[in-house]
Amino acid sequence: MTRLLNRRIQHKAAIKMFVISAPIPELPNEMWLKIFNILSHGDLLQVNLVCKRWCQLTQARELKRKSKLVVTKENLKDICDLMENNDLKYENVDINDKRDEFSNVGHASVLKIFEYFGCDIVRLKLYKPSMLSLLNHGLPKLQELDLSCMMSDKIVPVNFNKFSNLKSLLLPPRNSESYLICQLSEHTFQMPKIRLEKLSLSVNDCPLNCLNVLATHASSLRWLQLYVPKGMNLTVQGHFQEIFRKFTQLEELLIDGVGNMEYRRLILEYLPKENPLKTIALSLTRDVDLVELIIQKWRNSLECLKLKYYHRAENTASQLNFMNCKLRSLEWYGGPLTPQEFLDCVATKTNQTLTELKLFSLHVTGEFFDTLFQRLPNLAKLDLRGVRITDEEMVYVFRHLTHLRHLSLDPCVSENGIEYLCSELHSVSNLKRLQTLQICLCPIKALQILNLNFKFKKLTKLVPQFCHRSGKLSVLTIVHISTYFPVLEELFVDRLNFDYADIQEIRKHLPRLHKLS
């Protein structure tokens, strides 16, 4: 266990490795709490088993923030039983009845959970409107309420003023049944004691209610995600203008769900340039000139750009040149640029600023990625889901991106043998810092063929995929590759069902695993 701590603990400022030299009993509780606070949720589960003293320490309030209580139909009774005999405290609660709705008895049990944990809950996610009626019981510390996955036509009145510390409210994005949104928006408007900092809102069939919500919280919002349908009535344009003039602190603006071109333009034109915008998500059709407006207003503050392009203008490439060595994060969907134009915009030469890159529906060759990855030496997060991947692209990732922490690739489409991948796989050791990985099994099979003594010692989340060359996944396959992932905590496998025996077998080879689906 001490070796585990020595390996995982990193000081955020200057200390790269903390070595425990004193005997465990001699360290004071305060020091152990600081150490445990740096560990992941999976590590804390391991710590919990070491001794009674450590088990008690892991129940400290500051450590419980790392844990989420997910309430389902299956575990509802067990949670209620545990509450009677244990001093449980959770700040993050998820009432997950998305698939199996609770009975009347189940609702009574959930009410009991709210009464027990209510004083500690800071973050809460709900899926069914029937749960909203239970919120009338006090949650004095609630700061984040997530209703983004809620789908229903039921109207449930909620008094949000009871949550005096509420800072974040995520409402359903697009809902064919708009009654819930209208009702929620109407009650959300009546919150004189609350000033939200984060809001996700759909301006659907009740635009006036939704606009009142925006107007109420405009001066305090720092994060806004807005959905406006294409057929939105233009009669409320004047209200939009007045509301967006009131924003002063906005840092993240996600309007890629605004389908109406006129409203996209209106938002960006009337939003004052004094807002310190760091992130913008935007979908463009014939209004590509809005990029120029963004550059004029927020060139100095912008760090993250998420663009979906559906149309090309003559000056598109020149407009986007500002991205070169300026952005920290870029998400690029489709787009009108040629591969060379994209390189000129993102990395004319070495770009040490960009650390996160997501590309989708980009039609390029392997040589493009060879050049691009050489010019992005500090890339820590790469997502190429939606881009055609062969052995060549994978090798360029392994060879050049030595600082990667998060990698997501679609299954490869290579039709040749695995020999080329094997011949270049020595560079896979460059990925020793990976923490999350989504990839087909071809590189792992190449590791097995070469019998390389390599392990992903920091990788805690794995999403293995099958391609025609690596074949379908099975429990036996997972067992065979487990040796490469000694600290794995989360495993997500598509199209594979597990029975109890399968789960036990997998956990035997992946002892730190706590999430399997």
pLDDT of residue 33 exceeding 50, the answer is yes
* % of the chain residues with pLDDT over 90: 34
Question: Which is more confident, 2 or 394?
Answer: 394
pLDDT of residue 511 exceeding 60, the answer is yes
CA 326 to chain centre: 23
What value does the mean pLDDT of the chain take? 83
Tell me, what's the pLDDT at 19? 41
How confident is residue 15, by pLDDT bands cut at 50, 70 and 90?
very low
Structure tokens at 500: 């109890």
Whether 110 is covered by a domain: the verdict is: no
Which position has the token pair 């789908």? Answer: 151
| Beta strand ranges found along 142-191 (DSSP E) | 144-146, 168-170
Tell me if 411 sits within 8 A of 466, measured CB to CB: yes
pLDDT of residue 14 exceeding 50, the answer is no
Whether 52 is covered by a domain: the verdict is: yes
Number of domains, the chain: 1
How much is the pTM?
A: 0.84
Mean pLDDT for the stretch of residues 117-146: 85
Host domain of residue 59: 27-66
Most confidently modeled range among 148-152, 187-191, 243-247, 309-313? 243-247
Tell me which of 152-156, 305-309, 317-321 is least confident. 152-156
pLDDT of residue 271 exceeding 90, the answer is yes
Residue 44 belongs to domain with CATH number? 1.20.1280
Tell me, what's the pLDDT at 289? 81
Whether 43 is covered by a domain: the verdict is: yes
Whether 49 is covered by a domain: the verdict is: yes
Residue-wise pLDDT tens digits, 61-85:
677 666 788 898 888 888 888 887 7
How far, in Å, CA of 33 to CA of 344, rounded? Answer: 49
Tell me, what's the pLDDT at 187? 61
Whether 38 is covered by a domain: the verdict is: yes
Tell me if 214 sits within 8 A of 201, measured CB to CB: yes
Whether 296 is covered by a domain: the verdict is: no
Whether 121 is covered by a domain: the verdict is: no
Tell me, what's the pLDDT at 189? 61
Whether 41 is covered by a domain: the verdict is: yes
Residue-wise pLDDT tens digits, 216-235:
899 999 999 998 877 676 67
How confident is residue 191, by pLDDT bands cut at 50, 70 and 90?
confident
